[in-house]
Amino acid sequence: MGNIGPITVQGFWFSAHEQWKLLELPYLSIPLVQRLFLNAERVRTCNSAIQHIPGMFASVNNSTDSSGQIIGYISDAGIPSISNQTTFELDVVTPYSVFPVMLFDRGVAFAWWLDMAKGKKMQNPYGSTESTRVDGTAVSSFVSWDSKITTVVAYLGGVAEFAASKMKRDAIYDEFIDVTQREYEMKFSQPLNGERQPPCLPAATVPDAGLVDYTQCSKGS
């Protein structure tokens, strides 16, 4: 797409939340796995840049209605061109989609985070807002653990190092590395396609559709 690719990746819907495992277990200690998931962030950023999408996709709470109720949860958010799924909801983006990028390139990750956070109502007294529609007509007036802690933990480098220390004490680290490396080597040949492609920067912003920014906490909050 857009003269970029092919790029070898692994994913389901290709929602950013599928990379949560990288925050917690030492997958990135395995060079092949690290290269494969860096490829994933090349695709995640370039997919949105090429299509002028003002953000990136992850499973997230949908917009809130006029009464303040969340109108549903979006699981099937991702990138159709590299997914093995057939249904997608691609009208909502979320700042926490940057957390996997953060593990590889903080500068690019913050550029994408800011691109979404600059949208109307996308910042509030508690930090970044859960999600916004790509046309700027609504946001999810909500903050969740998923949409907050992932970005912070990724910025700090994840907790895989701590998990690895415990795994070594429990004498299971070497087995984890050996099995993971074996399984990935069985599936992915080397070199991987697309490893010279740099990640892409945002090429669009959330439109101003007339939403009014948050200015204070609501009563009782």
Tens digits of pLDDT across the chain (221 residues): 889 999 999 989 999 999 999 999 999 999 999 999 999 999 999 999 999 999 999 999 999 998 989 999 999 999 999 998 999 999 999 999 999 999 999 999 999 999 999 999 999 989 999 999 999 999 999 999 889 999 999 999 999 999 999 999 999 999 999 999 999 999 997 889 999 999 999 999 999 999 999 986 655 44
Q: Given the structure tokens 């093995």, which residue do they identify?
A: 84
Cα(3)–Cα(177) distance, integer angstroms: 35
Measure the CA–CA gap between 98 and 53, rounded to whole angstroms: 14
- The model's pTM: 0.93
Residues 6+ apart with CB under 8 A from 175: none
Provide the residue type at 23 as one letter: L
Q: Peptide bond before 191: cis, by omega within 30 degrees of 0?
A: yes
One-letter amino acid at 219 equals K
Give the span between the Cα atoms of 71 and 187, in whole angstroms: 39
H-state helical runs in 60-117: 99-102, 106-117
- Provide the CA 86 distance to its chain's centre, in angstroms: 20
Q: Are the C-beta atoms of 15 and 58 separated by less than 8 Å?
A: yes
**What is the token pair recorded at 25?**
């277990």
Measure the CA–CA gap between 189 and 204, rounded to whole angstroms: 35
